[in-house]
Amino acid sequence: MTRRTAPVGRRQTDTKESNPKEAFGEQKMPLGLAPDTAITELNLAFLEGALKYGQYNWRIAGVKASTYNRAMERHRKKWWNGQDRDPTTRVRELASVMACCAILIDAEFCGKLTDDRPPRADMERVLREAAAVAAHLKQLFKDHNPPQYTEREYGGAAVALSALRSVPAGTKTDKARQRARRVIRRRLREIQAINVGTGIPPVTKATRSG
């Protein structure tokens, strides 16, 4: 039996040059595009739901579109206003938004969605016209440059940190300033407890000294 050798310039391997299964698989829907970080957080939201209501309950009981639209809005507004995670469950608010979307899509596929949305409106036209008005407003006030307030620059934590840095360290004889420092530290801890996972740094020696 003669052994085949690889042509000049090509590496000798024991595998075929092309795998028919690979070519066939390339034509299928890729299911590895969604980031695993988000999928993991989504599963935590579904775990919460499974423990409270039973997994895939909507495929049996059905759901109304309005119920999950309102739930999405509640979670979205909490996240937008600084609450990254639910303070009781520690599930991310955005993961709960994703879970609501996933349930609506799955219920629609399974024929279990009650579509109680309002009568259709031409939102594409509404948004186009609103964009024109927005462009007009930007042009009208182009010479104005007011501060645009954000939690990072103007929020309670930033104000408290600024006040804490302004209090000189080592003033042991000044009881009033010591009390002020204690109040500020307590307020910072409260803010950090409310904004779980928002990235606000904990109070350390470095932040106290500025």
Q: What span, in angstroms and rounded, lies between the C-alpha atoms of 191 and 187?
A: 6
Q: How much is the pTM?
A: 0.65
List pLDDT tens digits, range 112-124.
999 999 999 999 9
Q: Are 113 and 123 in contact (CB under 8 A)?
A: no
Name, of 139-153, 159-173, 176-190, the range with top average pLDDT.
139-153
Each residue's pLDDT tens digit, 134-161: 999 999 999 998 888 787 777 765 666 6
Amino acid at position 77, single letter: K
Model pLDDT for residues 47-69, shown as the tens digit of each residue: 999 999 999 999 999 999 999 99
What count of residues does the chain have?
210
Whole-number Cα distances in Å, 53 to 56, 59, 63, 74, 194:
9, 12, 13, 19, 27
Closest CA to 67 of 81, 53, 79: 53
Q: Give me the residue spans of the domains in the chain.
A: 36-114, 151-209
